[in-house]
């Protein structure tokens, strides 16, 4: 597996190796020992999947507050999407900044988004399926979000004219309105 650091510390792009021939390919997409040694020492407790039928669907920006905060390992199993992580850790040198990766079955890439980040994505084609592992189960009591188009964050969503949103996502607060749910801790030595 190939690991790439992104512009925001702790958010990582992972590209599993593929071994192919005329029949197709084989890829090991997750190995716990490798992930813990190279990315983060976490335990995944739930796998989630969602289908977005229409291109231009935005889901997010979502996160869960402690003690149910979630880290997410995200991949796209059908279609194409732009996956986004936003640093919402108070005191972080990258607070309010975002990193994005295009995910698709063709590129096989994954995005690791640790707790302390809001997560969202936009589908780039119809019938897109996102699949992700999480480090804590869903908790409606801890479910929160931030506005997908907050100008203070400035995410560059492709073709943002025809956005499809849920009522919940259309009403999320701005970053400046969020309490200090997460505090940055510099773990570099």
Among all residues, which ones are annotated catalytic?
Answer: 62, 132
Helix (H) or strand (E) holding 33: helix 32-38
Q: Which residues pair with 14 in a beta bridge?
A: 3, 110
Q: List b or e across 126-139, with b for residues whose CB sees 16 or more CB atoms inside 10 angstroms.
A: eebbbbbbbbbeee
Helix (H) or strand (E) holding 123: strand 117-123
Hey, is 12 helix, strand or coil? strand
Centre a 10 Å sphere on the Cβ of residue 19 and count the other Cβ atoms it contains.
Answer: 8
Record the tokens describing residue 151, joined without a space: 């100008």
- DSSP label of 169: H
């Amino acid at each position: 597996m190939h690991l790439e650091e992104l512009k925001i510390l702790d958010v990582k792009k992972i590209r599993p190796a593929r071994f192919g021939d005329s029949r197709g390919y084989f890829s090991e997409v997750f190995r716990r020992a490798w992930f813990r040694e190279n990315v983060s020492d976490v335990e995944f407790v739930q796998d989630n999947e969602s289908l977005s039928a229409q291109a231009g669907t935005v889901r997010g920006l979502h996160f869960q507050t402690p003690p149910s905060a979630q880290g997410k390992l995200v991949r796209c199993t059908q279609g194409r999407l732009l996956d986004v992580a936003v640093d919402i850790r108070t005191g972080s040198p990258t607070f309010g900044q975002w990193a994005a990766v295009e995910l698709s079955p063709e590129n096989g890439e994954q995005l690791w988004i640790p707790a302390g980040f809001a997560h969202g994505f936009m589908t780039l084609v119809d019938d897109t399926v996102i699949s992700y592992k999480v480090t804590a189960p869903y908790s409606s009591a801890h479910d929160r979000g931030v506005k997908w188009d907050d100008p203070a964050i400035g995410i560059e969503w492709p073709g943002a004219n025809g956005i499809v949103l849920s009522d919940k996502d259309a009403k999320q607060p701005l970053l400046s309105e969020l309490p200090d749910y997460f505090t940055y801790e510099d773990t570099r030595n």
